[in-house]
Structure 1
């Protein structure tokens, strides 16, 4: 199973001493608050009405829309989370679920080089080419636009090397993009699954 950051273990440590307060629970209209049982400033709310679920508080705010009862939608995954599918249901800016990281981009670029040159028999030439790529990455603008420009422009062609270049990035395939799940989005996904679990457990206990 794919692991995401924060991990389930990390999330459970965050909420180990948290409890649930029911502010509203009328059919599909719910307002649940989660925070440390002893008080404190960290908290998040889950609010639902027909067709919508909002998570907000000391985390990002996301609004999801899919089924009339959004608890049913998220409950179908149990404790597991499905960031990609759930992202499609965000209706207040789904692009916020992912972000760009320059270090991730550099690691992906070097990994693509390693894969593309795996059959190179001249190890000295391969090592020199890799150092060139590392040096050029160090000099590039460390942001998403810089990454795009780098992919478009980078070629390594050692002295005397004929066409085509020894290495370049094939933009027609799946080039490095440095994109990954936003940490706070994953935290919110875990929080929703956990919150519904707490809600269901309290319902079972109710007389």
Structure 2
């Protein structure tokens, strides 16, 4: 079954990995145990660049990508995020919901936003299911058109859904999820996974293969 949220995430990852960050490089500014300061950027520009700082029990990201998110879970937060770091261009296996639970208290709830597209997608799903099971003569397209006039915000969408309870059940009104992960949160998660992938690549490089700085 088509999943609007997953489809959107895959599109965002393609742009992130194949366009926005394709020339990025990792710079280790500081590393002292779990105290780290890393920067990922295309040399000579701050566009789509970010920095990650870790200290005991915390990881924070700032910059042009993911600015302002702080996660807290393990003493070394790289241990928390490392299993999800991709080793190639495929989208990392991020559990966005679980990661959001590790955000600072004041940031929880900011990771998702109401999506008119997701709302209309859920309405169509519910209407088609009702038509298949109860009334094949229901005009699904007309219902979806009506729904499209009530997408200004989540409150408006849910109030409309409540009034359409012949087709849309009370469970739909109370429990249906009309949200998607916010772009800024998604790219922050991508950036963290990408940073750790780059960090792992540096750490597994034999010391003798690291090019020494040029002397003058």
Same fold? TM cut 0.5: yes
Mapped partners of 2:151, 2:200: distance in 1 = 49
Match of 2:74 among 61, 67, 72: 67
Matches for 1:1-207 after TM superposition, within 5 Å: 4-13=9-18, 14-60=20-66, 61-79=68-86, 80-91=93-104, 92-120=106-134, 123=136, 125-127=137-139, 130-140=140-150, 142-155=152-165, 165=166, 167-171=167-171, 175-205=175-205, 207=207
Q: CA RMSD in A?
A: 2.3
Displacement after TM superposition at 1:88 (Å): 0.8
Bigger radius of gyration, 1 or 2? 1
**Quick one: distance in 1 between partners of 2:11 and 2:110?**
16
User: In 2 relative to 1, CA 135–190 (structure 1 residues): closer, same or farther, beyond 3 Å?
Assistant: closer
Q: Measured at CA, do residues 199 and 139 of structure 1 come closer, stay the same or move farther in structure 2, by a change above 3 Å? A: closer
Measure how far apart 1:51 and its partner are. Answer: 0.2
Conservation of the 8 A alpha-carbon contact between 2:158 and 2:173? no
Query: Structure 1's 170 and 194: CA in aligned 2 closer, same or farther, altered over 3 A?
Result: same
Shift of 1:173: 8.2
TM-score (norm 2): 0.78
Q: Offset of 1:175 from its aligned partner?
A: 4.1
Kindly provide the CA deviation profile for residues 74-130 of structure 1, in whole angstroms up to 9, marking residues without a partner as x.
002232222111111111412111111112101211211111221346x4x312xx2
Q: How far apart are residue 148 of structure 1 and its match?
A: 1.9
Aligned length: 192
TM-score by length of 1: 0.82
Shift in CA distance, 83/138, structure 1 to aligned 2, threshold 3 Å: closer
